[in-house]
Amino acid sequence: MGQIVLQLFQSLGQTFKVFVLTLVFSLPLGFVVAAGRMSRHKLISVPVNLFIMIMRGTPLILQLLFVYFAPFYLFGVSFPRFTACIVAFVLNYSSYFAEIYRGGLQSIDRGQHEACRQSETKSSPWSRTPHLPRPSVWRSCSEPHRTPVQGCSRSRPFS
């Protein structure tokens, strides 16, 4: 009985580690992917859209298997199980977070963008993005974040 409880606590520690690392790496990567998806350059936006479509359209277990086995069969290199797990989860959840960020940024009223344009001399939309009213961006992105984070905590049995 004591051995089982010890294994459960060790597994809980591993689960927590995977959960935290997934969020730490996928949240910033999701913002980069969202920027790529919103890009006006087709050389950037088309591959990013394809990445998002593949990652959101395939099951996570298939992505885990691909990240773990594909490098060995394609390049003769293998990753440790934990590393492959983190990479698969980060890529998967960054695509979901990218869509949340994109939706949140595009839901901001045009008047707020125009106000930023009038107050700033920089012409790039990405240079104006940090100056958007943070409550507006936070409000439009915080509620949808809850679902992937809850899903991330529930999908640990795959690893």
Give per-10-residue mean pLDDT for the chain (159 aa).
87 91 93 90 93 93 94 92 94 92 76 60 54 55 59 54
| The total number of structural domains that make up the chain | 1
pTM tops 0.85, yes or no = no
Torsion on CA atoms 131, 48, 106, 97, rounded to nearest 10 = -80
Q: Distance between terminal CA atoms of the chain?
A: 24
pLDDT attached to residue 82:
93
Range of the domain at 67: 2-158
Cα separation of 90 and 32, whole Å? 13
Size of the chain, expressed as the number of residues it contains: 159
Spatial CA neighbour of 102 closest among 146, 58, 48, 23: 48
CATH code of residue 148: 1.10.3720.10
